[in-house]
Every structure is written in structure tokens, then in C-alpha cells.
Structure 1
Amino acid sequence: MHLAQANPDSEERAVSRQVGRAQRREARSLYWRGWLLTDIADELALNYNTVASWKNRDRWDDDPPIKILEDRLEAKIARYLDKEPFTAGDMKIVDFLMRQMERCARHRKYSETGKEGDLNERVAARNDDKAKAKRADKRRNFLTLEQWQALLDDFHDRNFEYQELWWEHREERTRKIRKSRQVGATWYFAREALAKVAEAVLSGVGKEKLALDEVPRNQIFLSASERQALKFRREIVGWVRRVTGVELKGKIIMLDFVGQYPEDEEGEATGPALDQIGFYFLSTNSATAQGESGDLYFDEYAWVHGFAELNRVASAMTTHKIYKETYFSTPSVKTHQSYEFWSGEEWNKGRPRANQRPFDISYKTLRRGARMPDGSWQ
């Protein structure tokens, strides 16, 4: 096999360039130590004009103090490393000088970025990706943006057509839904409540602030029994576990949004600060089913005892217009208190005859949903 012959001229030129760079750096180092140009030229056996040209071209006088300090440290480290014999004491000095070099490098990086983590290694350790991931694992009821998106995608992938119709009307002030049994309403509305939160969180990406009606809201589930109310909780916890692997905790599920939006290159959050919200699972005991405000889901309302009083309490939870009410149930009997609420009799009661309006609650009208005179969607 033929081997290429080394070119002696090329090797000499390479050595000459290395020597020139070393002399140039040594000349700069001596200048920073206070030497005059004439003394530097004599010390390094160089032409004075050459040294003066280096000084002007490389702008030695404009370099920041941190760079001058790094040069001095490098010179000291090199001197100790070339020392014979090299003792354990010398090693300690070199180790100390190397740590000072690291500090200089951090100061230089900090002057470029302004990030405290570049100046303080402890802060950097707290803010690196590994530390953030570890904290996220330990956090209670926290979901990342990616996990919120995964939940929203899975929600729509598994919905039936009629459930997507319910979703389209999620922002109605009041929804009244009559359903048949075993249509997955509990399963759907448990997921819908969390999907609305996911939608709100994701809408904040890139924004400084969300409008009051755009922020995540408390979600309240009111059922005929505690057992039924906790079924909503089981549906939510199981869904989140299946899709994201996160285990939501607490009888009341309080969602944590601190650090929800990652920081940009300048250390600024890429979304608004969000307040903590809760998922409340209540039974129809009017003494306990009050005190919270949020979006309300009233399950099997046509079967609860004392509906009129419970509905008064429930309505107090949604006083502000930003909160939404959803009533859903299988039909019961016309003598139940809820029937007047469903049929419009309650709304028309006490109104002058001229101001009363009929509620068309026929199957044909309500099959795809309709707006009633009281403003509700049925």
C-alpha cells in the first residue's frame, strides 16, 4: 500500500504558526501584567512594530477584566503543571486555580444571558431538566402540557357522536339533558370536566394573561349519593392514570398549575400564572352541598328528594355567569319537582300571561338540542 509522503515545508509552516500564536498570546499576557511594548519585544525577541500591531489589531485595551483574570489564571496553572517535581501541595494549588477558572467562566456566561443559574451552580442544578423532571414526579396532581394535550386527544378519540354534540355546547350557561340508561353519561361528563381544564390550560400557551371566562374553573359534581358522586372521581382518576400514568390524589382533587408553562431562553414563563382549582364530589345533602363555586354537574337530578331546595343551593354555586350548569338524568315522573324545571312550568310560573312562553320538549325538537325560552339548552 502506498503511503503519502509528509511535506517538510507544510510541517514547518504549521510549527511556525503555532509558535507565532504562542508568542502573540504571551505578548498579550505580559502587556496585561503591565509590561511596556518595548520590554515585551525585547523579552520575546520580537520587532517592536510587530508587538504594537498585535496590540492594536486584537484591541488588548478593550478586553474585560474577567478575560484578563482568566489569562493570569491560565498562566499560573501552566507554570505549576510544568514544575518539577510536582508535589501534592502543587496539585492543591492547581485545583484551587481551576475552580477559579470555572467561576470566571460562569461570570462570563452570566454577563451574556443574565440567568442566575449560569452564575450559581446550585441554582443551575435546581433548574436543569433532570431536576425539573424529578420535582414534577413528586408533585401532587400536576400534569405537563404534553399530558394535558394527550388527555384532550384521547377524550375526542373515544367520544360517540352524541357526546361530541354535548361537547359542542359545553359553554352553555345551562344545559338540561334527558338521557336513557347506560349511555355513558357519567363516564362522559367526568372526562368533559377535565377536558375543559385541559383546553383552558393549553389555550394559555404563549399568552401573558387569560380572560376571566378562559381560566380553568372549579368542577363540582352533585349526585344523589356519595357513592355515585365518587364514581365521577373514579372515572377521572382512572382516565388520567391510563393516558398519562399520573395518579391524582385526594378526596377533593386539587390541581396544581405552578410552573405549568416552561421558561423561555430569557427565563420567562411562556404562559400566564394560574390559580389552583378543585374537583368536588358532593352528595345531595343540602347542608354539605354548598360553599363552593364552579361549573356544576347535577347527576340524576330527576330522582333526588327535595329537588327544589337542592336546585336553589346548586344555583348558588354558579351565581357568576362564567360558571356553567349541566343537569342530566333519566326521566322520572311528572309529579317530581324537577319536571316543572324541565318543562318550563317553573320559569313561566308567576309571569304575566303575555310574557309566558311555551317550551317545546318533544323528542323531535330536542333530539339534536334546542334553545328554550329561559335561555337553557335542552
Structure 2
Amino acid sequence: MSEDKQKKSVYPDEVKTAAKLMWLRRVSAREIAEQLNLNSVRVVYQWAEKGNWEEMLQHETVEQATARKLIALVEKENKTDADYKEIDKLSNLLDKLAGIDLKKARAAKEKAAASRGERGDGKSRKRKPKNDVSNITPERLEEVRKELFFDYQHRWFENLCQRIRFILKSRQIGATYYFAWEAFENAVNTGENQIFLSASRAQAEIFKAYIIKFAREYFDVELKGGECIELSNGAELRFVSTNGRTAQGYHGHLYVDEVFWIPDFERLNKLASGMASQKKWRKTYISTPSVKSHGAYTMWSGERYNDKRKNKVEFDLSHAALKEGQLGADRIWRNIVTVVDAQEQGCDLFDIDELRDEYSEAEFNNLFMCAFLEAGLSVFKLDDLLAAAVDSDVVWVDFKTRQQRPYGNHPVWIGYDPSRTGDGAAIVVIAPPLKDGQPFRVLEKIVIRNRAWQWQANRIRELTEKYNAQFIGIDCTGPGSGVFEMVQDFFPRVTPIHYGLNTKTNLVLKAQDVIESKRIEWDAEHTDIPQAFLQIHQTTTGNDQITYAANRTSTTGHADVAWAVMHALSNEPLNRNRRGSTWAFAA
């Protein structure tokens, strides 16, 4: 037996499991070896290769990456001063990404530290038993909560007693942040289980990052755990995705995130009912709106309740009725919180006039004013778009974000939609099928605002160094011409896309074919992709010719990501059966 095999054989299974969990949190192999007191870094790589740990990793958003790094650092043993500084930096970044008032959070942190008789700079840290919350009192939790949150969030807490809460909310008003706190406070005070259910595991772990952050910053407690954090009082905090096969075996208070963007609501609701069927468990549904044809809308509107009743009940879904919350006949407490409501109730983090300038009226109303999109106006169906959403952590086994070239030497196609005055630009990287019958996959998505066209072109250059780009499609209409010329210098084969009636029609028809035939996938966390496609509708020109648009003007940009996806997909002929030599499947 070789020396490596002798060393490997002496490690018990729990050490290997710990190494795997750390690897999946993207802790480096060297740190894993040091923290687990392994004889060699090579052992970690051998375990990773044998167990295919790399295949379990997924592509991340900025928020997911920040949450993951924060979790890994907090759980690290024997932290250095540099680690603590990085934790503080990541905590602040996570707050910013969630639209949190940093001054208010800092004041709450200092007040909590003062109540412990400690300095507020976070330097006083004593080793305590794992996940020990025994010294956290209800009074201290209440004190921090009152200092930290806005009026609408306090209203959510006041209705914690409701069996079912359904909250329709604006983007970026701190809903994830608040409900992570609420679950943490309730778990500490009662010892009751809390479950967070999201479209992807990575999205669920954003809740986890916030909870770890709360415990550390306000109570000097370092929480540790993988899919489950078990507190010293017995409460379990679980973070699962809708694809979790064992999720139905859990029980506790349930939080379902972005429910209007999760596919197959009937299956989801059965899963949720199984997890919180006992009368002591609460269910909380949180989401921005999608379209009224989504399966969750019948629950929101009360139609599900009225479906089998002779005496129908009228549900008032108006903003005026639900602005402060209302308990319906179906025992669901409904609440609508728009960005204007948030501002009126203490949240001063937005410039609403600026948001109105950046988005069209329809998109602004959908993103920030809780208005449902008109599904009938779109040329794409929400059900088809949601069917493309997958948990890439589970499904994509050949996309390895830890590597310098995450998709190896496999071919990718890049699509770019340019920015205009006050508009956003979008770049997407799409993996074409490697074998016949496989779907396209949106591997990476970059949304750009307020950047010069040279800067945008350089982002495309970086992508060509990161991936094996075989096709780049760029809209050369207007501002896109500068980006095209610069890209042409380093990628001579770049394809110009000149918009016209036929071009738009072909782009939309190709996207319809790919989406309706379920030949494309993207990570479920990217709800902006289906949202962008829903903005595209059929219209007519002044000559009564049919075309497609997304309410785009010179000052308002729309559906940027959708057009970028379509530019990349344009490399496949409209009639894919006549592909010929345009492109070939990779070996």
C-alpha cells in the first residue's frame, strides 16, 4: 500500500464529511487541511476527485458569493485579524446588496455591544460552546429588533401570530434580511424549528448568511452548520431548495422566498403543507409579483379558497386594503409593501424619481409597486419561462466555478445588448448543447449600468479569456457600434446584429422555439431573466407591419437580458434541422 493510501485510510468518515462540506463552501484545500489537521493537501484533492465534489458546485450571483464567503470565514477556526476584517467587509457588502441602512445597522450593533458591557468594534470575542444561544435574552433581541428595522418590518413582526402570511413586496426593501432575523429571534426564544425554502440552495443560504451575521455581530455567537444549524436550545434552522428530495421530512415554521417565481406551485404547496401542517407551525410566503397566470395567484387572490365553496367570499386585493395588512376569510394575512410605502415608513434608501427614470412605467410598477405583469401582452408564457429555471447546484455537473476556465474548453456563445442613455447593458454566456437533446444553459449573466462602452467591451474580452467563445453576437444599432468595433480587434469573428423588422422577428421566433420546446436552462435565482422575456410584446409599426418591442425608448431600457440571450441564440438557425456546418456539437 502506498504512503498516500496509508494516510488516507486513517481518517474517519466524519473527517471526510467535514472536508466535503468545507469544500462545497469553497474553503481552499490548504485551509481544509490545516483546520482538519490533515497530513497533506493532496489528501483533500484526492477526496474531491474521488467524490466528484467539484460537480456539486454551481455558478453564483454576487450576493450568493458574498454569503458563501461570509459563511466560510465565520465557521473557520482560529481566525486571524485579517479574517475578522474580511468578515466585517463582507457583512457590510451583504447589507448593501440587500439595500440595508448601514448607519442604522451600525447603531443597533453598538447598542447591543454596549448592553453586553463590551466594545462595539467587534474585537471582544470569547470562545463559547458551539451554537450556544443560552445568554441571548428576549429583552436583548427585542432591543436590537426595534433599533434595526423599519415600520413595515415591525408590522410583519406584529403579525407573527398569523398562521399564514402572504407578502407582496417591492424589490430591495430588506425582506430577506428581516425574515432571517425574525426566524432567528423566534428560534432563540422558543426553541422551535425554522425552515427556509427557496428555488435554489444558494438562494436559501443567503438567509443563512444573515442569521450567522446577526448572531456574530449583535450577540458575539458564532453559528456553525451545513444545511442545518442546530442551536443549543434544540431549535433547527434548515436551508433547503425546492428541489430538495428530503425537504418533506422536515417540520417547522416555513419561509418560502420569491414564490411567484418558483415553477410548479402545486407541488411546492404540497411540500410546504407537509412541512408546516401542524397548527403550531406558521407559513410565510414572500415575493415580488410575476403574472396572474402563475399558480400562486389563486392563493393570493382567494380563488383557491372560493373554488369549492357555494357561498363565494370577496377578497379586496387593492393596495389601499392591504397596505397595512388584512386577514382574509381564508385565514391568510395579506400585505402589500411598495417602494413608496417603504419610504413613507422610514426607509430612505431609494431615490424613487431616479428609479422611475431608469425603468419603464410597466417595469417600475412590477419591480417596485407590486403590480402584476400582463401575461396576455407578452409573446412568452410564464410557465414556459419558469420551466427553464433549475437549481444549478443539482443539475449542472460540468460547470466548475472554482477553476480558471469554469467550463473547460467546451464552446460557448456570447450575446451582448448595448446600453443607451440611462439604459442598462447586458452580456450573457450561453453553453450550447454538447449532445443532441441537451438544452442550452445560461452560464453567466452580467448586467451593466452607467459604464463607458470601452469598459463594456473589456468585460467581453475577459469572457473570451475565461471561456472558449465560438460566437459573439452584438447589437450594432446605435451605441453598440463602438463596442462592436472594439470587440472586433480581439475577436475578428464577432457577428454584427443590425435591428430591423426581419431581424427582430427572427430573434423572437428563435427564442420562442427554444423556450417552448424546453431547450434552455438558467439558475432559478435569476428571476430577472423570465421577467425580461415577459416584457417583450407584439406591436405594429406605422405601416401596420408586425414587430416586437419591450417599451424601449432612448431613455428607458427594457428586457436587456432577454435581448442578450436572443443575440447569443441567433447562432442557431431558425430551422435548427438545417444547421449544416454553422456549428457542431462538441465532443
**Is the Cα contact below 8 Å between 2:128 and 2:221 reproduced in 1?**
no
Cα deviation digits, residues 112-161 of structure 1 (max 9, x gap): xxxxxxxxxxxxxxxxxxxxxxxx94411012334664333212210100
1:347 equivalenced with 2:312 (yes/no): no
1:256 counterpart (226, 232, 235)? 232
Instruction: Please name the residue that 2:262 is paired with.
Output: 304
**Is the Cα contact below 8 Å between 2:194 and 2:252 reproduced in 1?**
yes
2:177 counterpart (187, 212, 219)? 187
Output the CA distance in 2 between the equivalents of 1:172 and 1:307: 22
**2:225 partner SS:** coil
Identity across aligned pairs (percent)?
42
Instruction: Please name the residue that 1:161 is paired with.
Output: 151
Output the CA distance in 2 between the equivalents of 1:374 and 1:286: 29
Output the CA distance in 1 between the equivalents of 2:244 and 2:230: 22
1:314 equivalenced with 2:304 (yes/no): no
**Is the Cα contact below 8 Å between 1:151 and 1:240 reproduced in 2?**
no
1:365 equivalenced with 2:340 (yes/no): no
| Mapping 1:55-66, distance limit 5 Å | none
Structure 1 or 2: larger strand share? 2
Output the CA distance in 1 between the equivalents of 2:323 and 2:249: 35
Instruction: Please name the residue that 1:151 is paired with.
Output: 141
2:164 counterpart (171, 174, 179)? 174
Cα deviation digits, residues 60-106 of structure 1 (max 9, x gap): xxxxxxxxxxxxxxxxxxxxxxxxxxxxxxxxxxxxxxxxxxxxxxx
Output the CA distance in 1 between the equivalents of 2:149 and 2:195: 22
2:130 counterpart (113, 123, 140)? 140
Residue 305 of structure 1: CA displacement?
Answer: 0.7
- The normalised TM-score by structure 2 is 0.35
| Mapping 1:61-140, distance limit 5 Å | 137-140=127-130
**1:293 partner SS:** coil
Output the CA distance in 1 between the equivalents of 2:141 and 2:288: 28
Relative to 1, partners in 2 of residues 1:370 and 1:241: Cα closer, same or farther, differing over 3 Å? same
**Is the Cα contact below 8 Å between 1:286 and 1:313 reproduced in 2?**
no
Structure 1 or 2: larger helix share? 1
Instruction: Please name the residue that 1:60 is paired with.
Output: none
1:224 counterpart (199, 216, 225)? 199
Output the CA distance in 2 between the equivalents of 1:316 and 1:336: 21
Query: Aligned letter for 1:140?
Result: K
1:238 equivalenced with 2:194 (yes/no): no
Residue 286 of structure 1: CA displacement?
Answer: 5.4
Instruction: Please name the residue that 1:327 is paired with.
Output: 285
Output the CA distance in 2 between the equivalents of 1:229 and 1:148: 26
- Give ranges in structure 2 of 5+ residues lacking alignment: 1-125, 335-587
Output the CA distance in 2 between the equivalents of 1:376 and 1:253: 29
Instruction: Please name the residue that 2:242 is paired with.
Output: 284
Residue 277 of structure 1: CA displacement?
Answer: 1.6
Instruction: Please name the residue that 2:330 is paired with.
Output: 374
- Give ranges in structure 1 of 5+ residues lacking alignment: 1-135, 201-215, 258-275
Instruction: Please name the residue that 2:296 is paired with.
Output: 338
Output the CA distance in 2 between the equivalents of 1:310 and 1:320: 17
**Residue correspondences, number:** 208
Residue 189 of structure 1: CA displacement?
Answer: 0.1
Rg larger in 1 or in 2?
1
**Is the Cα contact below 8 Å between 2:180 and 2:207 reproduced in 1?**
yes
Output the CA distance in 2 between the equivalents of 1:186 and 1:199: 20
Output the CA distance in 2 between the equivalents of 1:138 and 1:199: 19
Residue 186 of structure 1: CA displacement?
Answer: 0.3
Output the CA distance in 2 between the equivalents of 1:166 and 1:293: 22
**2:279 partner SS:** coil
